[in-house]
């Protein structure tokens, strides 16, 4: 695969921007803290399943103090429909305790501080920095990894490589919203099996070799 031309990159994101000028996460949240907890829960789970659980959870507990007060078993009752809920519940309680004791109950606007929280890795920190605080970060999930390689934006074998290559090729004007556009494109059009090329607004500039067979 050849290196993608800057003009093509610009056209890709112009089209995505035109189709969806103000993209955002499909997780339902009202505060940075709710977003943080929802993103922790979303690992290996769908946004739909997380939203169903957090609708009930946040109605009774949506601060570090109130979630911590639920205790381990109490928290599990709200998130037991989500995969890996035992581990996630333990991490969430640890994170709540750290937020209370180290950050005055506020979600830190700092990568190192975010990644020090239990259950928070680089991807989760990137989502919070981008969606809650407006930082031009790119949180690489399975959709972005697939789409970025498939359409020719990157040639990368690891998540970190995808993130770094995307930050190099995507014009600054598009970086704030880039990961939302790519996630949504991967979730609904450029799906893993049988991508919907006939419905894709990028089909004529995509590097995917089977695009004309869909």
The residues annotated as belonging to the active site are: 123, 141
- Please give the span between the terminal C-alpha atoms of the chain, in angstroms, as a whole number: 20
Encoding tokens for residue 168?
């190099």
Torsion of Cα atoms, 158 then 138 then 170 then 136, to 10°: -150
Q: Distance (Å, rounded) from C-alpha 89 to C-alpha 119?
A: 10
Which residues are CB-contacts of 122 (< 8 A; sequence separation ≥ 6)? 115, 159, 160, 163
Report the distance separating Cα 5 and Cα 73, nearest Å: 53
CA atoms of 15 and 53, how far apart (whole Å): 34
């Amino acid at each position: 695969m050849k290196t993608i031309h800057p003009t093509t990159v610009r056209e890709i994101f112009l089209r995505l921007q035109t189709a969806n000028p103000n993209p955002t996460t499909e997780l339902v949240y009202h505060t940075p803290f709710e977003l943080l907890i929802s993103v922790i829960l979303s690992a290996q789970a769908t946004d739909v399943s997380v939203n169903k659980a957090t609708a009930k959870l946040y109605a009774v507990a949506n601060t570090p103090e109130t979630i911590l007060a639920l205790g381990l078993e109490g928290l599990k009752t709200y998130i037991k429909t989500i995969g890996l809920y035992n581990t996630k519940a333990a991490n969430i309680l640890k994170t709540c305790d750290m937020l209370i004791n180290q950050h005055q109950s506020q979600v830190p606007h700092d990568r190192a501080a975010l990644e020090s929280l239990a259950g928070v890795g680089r991807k989760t920190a990137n989502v919070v920095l981008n969606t809650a605080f407006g930082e031009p970060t790119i949180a690489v999930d399975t959709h972005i990894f697939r789409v970025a390689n498939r359409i020719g934006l990157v040639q990368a074998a690891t998540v970190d490589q995808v993130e770094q290559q995307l930050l190099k090729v995507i014009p600054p004007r598009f970086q704030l919203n880039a990961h939302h556009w790519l996630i949504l494109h991967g979730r609904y059009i450029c799906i893993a099996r049988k991508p919907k090329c006939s419905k894709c607004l990028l089909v004529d500039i995509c590097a995917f070799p089977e695009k004309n067979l869909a």
